[in-house]
A and B are shown apart, each in its own frame.
Chain A
């Protein structure tokens, strides 16, 4: 007897008792619909949650920290007392120093180290964190702004949404993008007005010339001429791409200058800067102010402020990289940082060099960098490798695992609830099968008399049950799909739309879910037929054939 013969017999049996088969199948339909709907809701919840975090770059970025020079200095320099030391007391303060060192990485985050990290499998790119504050003038207003260096091209979601203009181009060296708060602080009416405008970064007069500025040479010729002193100093200085170590020699003078500057700016008067009126549009003030202009950038884009509704207003935290008001190309930011070092940093570097802690050629490296992976799944491995290489790492990668575990439990619970309804259906199947055997005892006896094997008798019942499972599964999956669609529709129409919120798909119905549910329904149905089938095979043909 071929499989098709058995299938034919099974289908014939179902047809003979259509209503009963339909009612039995109904139980499976409900069971599968409940399983699939519940689980698809759980999966939808998971997807929406993870997606939300992913959109914030919380799962595909981590921060690595380089060796913190201050920490190293505090713990190491005690051993090598510099000018006049305190002798034997230096062993005691070592303890807290060590503790802090545990927080800091063992390795400095130099350009070479960044290259090494970028070469790790799974790493999309590494972006060192270069941040500094500067007085920036735009639209004739000076404000203190936080500047950030940006790697171009950049995959961070922070740079996905622009109110006007676009992202920095790969080749642009003097372009900048700003955020919306910059726009309002500098008195632009709307974001689009700022596009193409200049931002001038101000610096103490004796630092102004320390960096020959390509942009200043290109644009604003009049200004250049006016600031003769700056021009001269620019002539003396060396290449524009000098790094921190090159400027170390000048540090002694600049430290003094910076000290003065900070002392005076503390008053924080918006209208004056170093005693010069800044917001006057008069020629004299422009000329005077321009003496402080160290570098000029052109605004090419305005970032949209990402305002998260109902979660405490404006959330600026996106991804692992700290936010800034103005973003300039990484290279320009590095150049600026090298020439306009903070006083404390300069002292730390000098101390480190003199103590022989680092070479005169060496820099302290970056404080931190953002490592972006191409796939969140690779994160674990990348983090492991980073730690092996001696870097400290911070990120939410463990939270992703925790979220997954949490949803695994949620989904399992939801699936289990659905499973219970399918269990109930399985009793219905068993019941139907036993009824059918009682009705068909004689028929089974006849089949045995003409040579049916036990296996064949059982198979007929299994196939019959599997057909019930399959039909119920398919209809149940379709029902679940309809429920999902309908729920989404209703939720949108009555909850989301009245609040002006966009459509959200609350469910996730991947093929493995409904296919799995159908297969599961078939398996449950066949399992329910195990006992009836065994009972059918045990029928005594003589007795079955005797009764009329």
Chain B
């Protein structure tokens, strides 16, 4: 489903050069739940952005469903982000001036949902992450965990085949985190959703994912299949 072939991402910083990713090769099957671990600055978010079609690699090839993303036009890239992948960002990235429902609704609007259908689906998504009551609140009026759940609802809005999550449980207590990951796990088994999730929590990674990948300094250090 997702594949990285010898992918490098190099940033030019003044005189020096930073390799956020250094010849990373990686393959994720459809319906697989993969956890991504690594120290800060090891390139996890950069890898997610490449798979999410927000960025393009300096070298190498990023593939989705066996097809390279490199030849896609800007417009096709937008369509890919809209329909194929859902992203949850480390800092939530919700629009501060919009309510939870409007934030979810915005993604649905770009996905072509209209009118009452859209409202109904936005409510339903928020309900699924346990935020039915908070639909009309703006991000500033929500706790970190609640904001994260709005971001999850938004990422799942257009029924993506791949979910790219950057520390979705970072702000949740272990009970809540467990609940959320059960929900994601269920979607993986039931709907064949593919998940690439960044987490610092070894326990959660071991409990819910099929496989854990360790990164360090822009390279994959090791992989472990979770029983």
Which residues of A are at the interface with B, using a C-beta cutoff of 8 A? 1-2, 5, 12, 16, 442-443, 445-456, 541-542, 545, 548
Contact = CB atoms under 8 A, between A and B. Distances in A.
B110 A450 contact: yes
A540 to B, nearest CB: 8
Given A449-B89, A453-B79, A454-B75, 6 more contacts: A1-B110, A2-B114, A5-B109, A443-B97, A450-B107, A542-B55
Given A1-B110, A542-B55, A545-B89, A451 B78 contact: yes
28 contacts: A1-B109, A1-B112, A442-B93, A443-B97, A445-B93, A446-B94, A446-B95, A447-B106, A447-B110, A448-B78, A449-B52, A449-B54, A449-B87, A449-B93, A450-B81, A450-B82, A450-B110, A451-B82, A451-B110, A451-B111, A452-B110, A453-B74, A541-B54, A541-B55, A542-B49, A542-B54, A545-B89, A548-B91
Contacts of A545: 54, 89, 91, 93
B165 to A, nearest CB: 13
B194 interface: no
Nearest to A544: B93
A16 B97 contact: yes
B154 interface: yes
B10 interface: no
B110 A12 contact: no
A494 to B, nearest CB: 52
B158 interface: yes
Interface in B179-205: none
A16 B138 CA distance: 14
B198 to A, nearest CB: 15
A454 B110 CA distance: 12
Contacts of A542: 49, 54-55
Nearest to B111: A451
Contacts of A453: 74-75, 78-79
Contacts of A447: 106, 110
B129 interface: no
A452 B75 CA distance: 9
B206 interface: no
**Among A12, A443, A446, A452, which residue has the most Cβ atoms of chain B within 10 A?**
A446
B151 to A, nearest CB: 10
A451 B93 contact: no
Nearest to B79: A451
Interface in B81-128: 81-83, 87, 89, 91, 93-95, 97, 106-107, 109-112, 114
Contacts of B87: 449
Interface in B36-89: 49, 52, 54-55, 74-75, 78-79, 81-83, 87, 89
Contacts of A455: 75
A447 B49 CA distance: 15
Contacts of A450: 81-82, 106-107, 110, 154, 157
B123 to A, nearest CB: 18
A452 B95 contact: no
A541 B177 CA distance: 28
Nearest to A454: B74
A453 B82 CA distance: 9
Nearest to A455: B75
Nearest to A15: B97
Contacts of B54: 448-449, 541-542, 545
Contacts of A454: 74-75, 78
B97 A451 contact: no
A548 B154 CA distance: 20
A442 B95 CA distance: 8
Nearest to A453: B78
A11 to B, nearest CB: 13
Nearest to A452: B110
A445 B55 CA distance: 12
Contacts of A442: 93
Nearest to B52: A449
A16 B111 CA distance: 25
Contacts of A446: 93-95
A455 B106 CA distance: 16
Contacts of A449: 52, 54, 81, 87, 89, 93
A448 B87 CA distance: 12
A244 B158 CA distance: 100
Nearest to A13: B97
A548 B94 CA distance: 12
A249 B106 CA distance: 104
B116 to A, nearest CB: 14
B210 to A, nearest CB: 26
A36 to B, nearest CB: 36
B69 to A, nearest CB: 14
B122 to A, nearest CB: 13
Contacts of B93: 442, 445-446, 449, 545
Contacts of A445: 93
Nearest to A456: B110
A284 to B, nearest CB: 106
Nearest to B118: A5
**Among B79, B83, B95, B158, which residue has the most Cβ atoms of chain A within 10 A?**
B95
Contacts of B158: 451
3 closest A-B pairs by beta carbon, nearest first, are: A451-B82, A450-B107, A451-B110
B20 to A, nearest CB: 11
A527 B186 CA distance: 51
Nearest to B154: A450
B91 A451 contact: no
Contacts of A448: 54, 78, 81
Contacts of B154: 450
Contacts of B83: 451
A443 B95 contact: yes
B102 to A, nearest CB: 9
A446 B157 CA distance: 14
